[in-house]
Amino acid sequence: DEGQIVFTRKVTGEMDPDGTAQRVLRALTENKVTTVTGKDLSITPDSVCIHSDTPGAARLAEAIARKLAENDIEIRPFGRAGQAVS
C-alpha cells in the first residue's frame, strides 16, 4: 500500500498472463495499480519490464503485447517513450 514493488519472480508457479496484461493496461491508461491488499494506488509508469527469469515470461510478454495492440498502445524501445516514431 506504500508504493513498493512486489517481486513476483519469487512466487511459486506462473503468473496469469491475461490478468497481468489487464493490470499493465490499467497502469498505462488509468495510472492506477491495485495493491496486495486490494487498494488502488496512483502511479505514473515510465516503463514495463518483463524479466526473463520470471516463470512464464514469454507468455506474459505475448499477452501484454497483444493487450496493448488491442488498445492501440505502441510498444517502444526503452528510453524512447516520449519520442515520435517515424
- pLDDT tens, position by position, 25-77: 999 999 999 988 899 999 999 889 898 888 899 999 999 999 999 999 999 88
Q: Considering only CA atoms, which of 44, 50, 49, 47 is closest in space to residue 31? A: 44
Bigger pLDDT: 23 or 8? 23
Contact in structure between 60 and 50 (CB atoms under 8 Å) = yes
- The domains of the chain are located at 8-70
**Residue 14: what pLDDT?**
77
40/32 Cα distance (integer angstroms): 6
